[in-house]
Amino acid sequence: MGQVKVQATTIGRVGALAVTLGVGWAVATAAPGVAYADDTGSDTSASASVSPDSSQSATGTSRAAERRAAAQQRRQEAREAAATRRAERQEARLARAPDRDTDSPGRTSVRVTENTTDEESSRADAPADPPPAAPLALTTLLTAAAAKRDERLATQRSTVAPQVSALAADDTPNVLVIGIDGTNLSKILANQQNSNLFSLMQTGTTAASTIVGHTTISNPSWSSILTGAWGEKTGVINNVFTPWTYSTWPTLFTQLEQFNSSIETTAISDWDVIAGIAGTGGANKVDNNIYFTQVAGDTDWSKTDDRVGDATEAAILGADANVSNFVFSYFVGVDENGHMHGGDSPEYAAAITNVDRNIGEILAAIEASGQEWTIIVVTDHGHQPQKGIGHGFQSPPETSTFVIANGGGFDSGAINLTYSIVDVTPTVLTLFGGTPSASSDGTSLTEQDDSNVYPVNDDGALRAGLLDIIAKYGYPDRATEARLSLRTIVTSVPYFVFGATNQLTGGLQDLVDLGIPIVSLAAKIAIIPVQLGGDLLYVVTNLAAQIVAKLTGVEGASIFPLWPPAPPAIEPQPDETTTLVDLFAVCGDDPASASFLQCGAPSIAV
């Protein structure tokens, strides 16, 4: 049954592939009335600004209060239960930990004081460019910021110096990255109930970013977030999990473990591909890999996302104050509702609000823990407003992304004009005192505050400034759009074949497991030709996909290995095991160990 659930999710994430293949090309390449520009444009679907409301919903407040009241007791129980084994483990790990260079120079902060409404000031410093296809507010400011980012990246490639953020001055820093799949920032800002996410924006720095010019498929984007390299480099072209990718492009978890093995790394997710990515790296894979399948009957994914939120709270409350901790939590529910109902649907909005409530409870757990955490919130892509394609193409709602950075080193209420999703991995490395890889496409967020702008100290101005930036992003040039649309259509085919084959063989295996004399035997025999036929079809379609990917700019594309990979083999968590104490009781091992959190799960198939 586990495989059936996994593959059902896989099929759902294709986003109505039949519709995509039938009309996707026409939709992507025919956009009458849209003004094209290189990296800016007009998004007529941008939400209007609304007045903020910093209060939590009644449900969120109630649940948060309950957790605050019980937090200290739960934390103490967990610590006492694992005290002896944790002490032994930490002593061994600290003995292996490398010394940190605390004398490395920190970043120099250069504040840019332009107001987002001060057009003359922002345009005066911008380089001269040809006029855009239509008059756009903030266009010149965004162009100047992009040029500054290119210059920064060029410098980073030529001289890779040790970078130690001021935040890493703490001997045991803690970092939490929250990934919310397929979420439009405009939809967060349009709903006053999303008070916890907006609170992070008010007290941190936010970028209304875009991935225009890059694919808007989930796996390539999350691979970029979790490696620091765009999919054009890594060769990730669709949602098929390719474990060999991460031998060449190690994940953030692996990079952290290689830098300092005493950092406790945890991944919590409800999509098997994320669990698969986290589980690569051999001896340097993530310490704790917690994966949840869809809760039975949870058609809107809210209960499943709640399990991710609860496990995140447990990880924070159980974090050892004597070591550094990194937690990555991934929520799939918003993207699933976007595929099922569309990005403009009430269900999509409700899924965002549900994640916001979970974030409120996570923030309450951080407060109860008494520890300091730097928080980064990121999404991989946006969503089309209508039900159907969902994402994969280059419309502004699909390429819309965001990054929120909240912590001691990030300015409150600031808008950053250069943050990108590919910056997450180098940022986390820097926060722990490490040095980002020279091959990274990203730059630490701690080095980008010279691209901050500061709206007046007013919540409405912050919302309006972010919405204004979102509205200015547009389509890429027509050649780029045609190239990426072709890539999306062709590379989706092997993914569909891969998912359908695994779903069929999983269903047949369920019949085998029933033990019905004739039926089970027939199903067992049928698995062989179905698997072989599906694998051969995958090889043919993937060969075409890799060739098209190479021709459309994916330098990491490769026809090898020819045979399809096995699906991620992470064992999901048992039901009702979301608190640290619950997990300890079920698995009977040290809460700080990978075997504990995986409950004896097999390793990722590679």
CATH code of the domain containing 199: 3.40.720.10
Q: What is the pLDDT of residue 576?
A: 60
Checking if the pLDDT of 40 tops 80, the result is no
Neighbouring CB atoms inside 10 A of 553's CB total 17
Q: Could you give the C-alpha distances from 536 to 248, 306, 541, in angstroms and in order?
A: 26, 39, 9
Partnered with residue 206 across adjacent β-strands are: 404, 415
Q: Which amino acid is at 163?
A: Q
Q: What is the pLDDT of residue 144?
A: 57
Average pLDDT of the chain is 79
Rg (CA), the chain: 23
* 604 in a structural domain: no
- Residue range 566-574: mean pLDDT, rounded: 86
Tell me if 426 sits within 8 A of 376, measured CB to CB: no
Domain hosting residue 276, numbered range: 58-97+174-467
Decide which of 74 and 203 is more confident: 203
Q: What is the pLDDT of residue 569?
A: 80
Q: Which amino acid is at 514?
A: L
Q: How many domains does the chain have?
A: 1
Q: What is the pLDDT of residue 268?
A: 99
* 425 in a structural domain: yes
Q: pLDDT category, 456, cuts 50, 70, 90?
A: confident
Report d(CA 574, CA 355) in Å as an integer. Answer: 22
Partnered with residue 405 across adjacent β-strands are: 205, 376
Partnered with residue 325 across adjacent β-strands are: 174, 264
Checking if the pLDDT of 104 tops 50, the result is no
Global confidence as pTM: 0.76
Tell me if 482 sits within 8 A of 433, measured CB to CB: no
Report d(CA 578, CA 587) in Å as an integer. Answer: 12
Decide which of 451 and 77 is more confident: 451
CA-nearest of 17, 150, 41, 143 to 478 is: 41
Report d(CA 292, CA 578) in Å as an integer. Answer: 10
* 522 in a structural domain: no
**What are the tens digits of pLDDT across the range 214-257?**
999 999 999 999 999 999 999 999 999 999 999 999 999 999 99
For the chain, percent of residues with pLDDT exceeding 70: 67
Checking if the pLDDT of 596 tops 50, the result is no
- Residue range 346-366: mean pLDDT, rounded: 99
The residue count of the chain comes to 606
Pairing of β 452-453 and β 174-180: unpaired
Q: pLDDT category, 570, cuts 50, 70, 90?
A: confident
* 343 in a structural domain: yes
Q: What is the pLDDT of residue 458?
A: 84
- Least confident range from 40-49, 228-237, 283-292, 421-430: namely 40-49
Checking if the pLDDT of 324 tops 80, the result is yes
Tell me if 417 sits within 8 A of 142, measured CB to CB: yes
| Axis-axis angle for helices 302-317, 580-587 (nearest 10) | 90
* 234 in a structural domain: yes
Which of the residue ranges 74-88, 169-183, 256-270, 452-466 has the most confident prediction, judged by mean pLDDT? 256-270
Tell me if 425 sits within 8 A of 228, measured CB to CB: yes
**What are the tens digits of pLDDT across the range 184-196?**
999 999 999 999 9
* 521 in a structural domain: no
Tell me if 183 sits within 8 A of 359, measured CB to CB: no
Tell me if 466 sits within 8 A of 207, measured CB to CB: no
Q: What is the pLDDT of residue 349?
A: 99
Report d(CA 606, CA 244) in Å as an integer. Answer: 7
Q: What is the pLDDT of residue 127?
A: 34
- Residue range 513-521: mean pLDDT, rounded: 96
Q: What is the pLDDT of residue 124?
A: 32
- Block residue for tokens 């075997």: 595
Decide which of 533 and 34 is more confident: 533
Report d(CA 271, CA 281) in Å as an integer. Answer: 19
Q: How far is CA 8 from the centre of its chain?
A: 21
Output phi, psi for 418, to 5 deg: -130, -10
- The tokens describing 575, both together, are 């039901």
Q: What is the pLDDT of residue 594?
A: 38
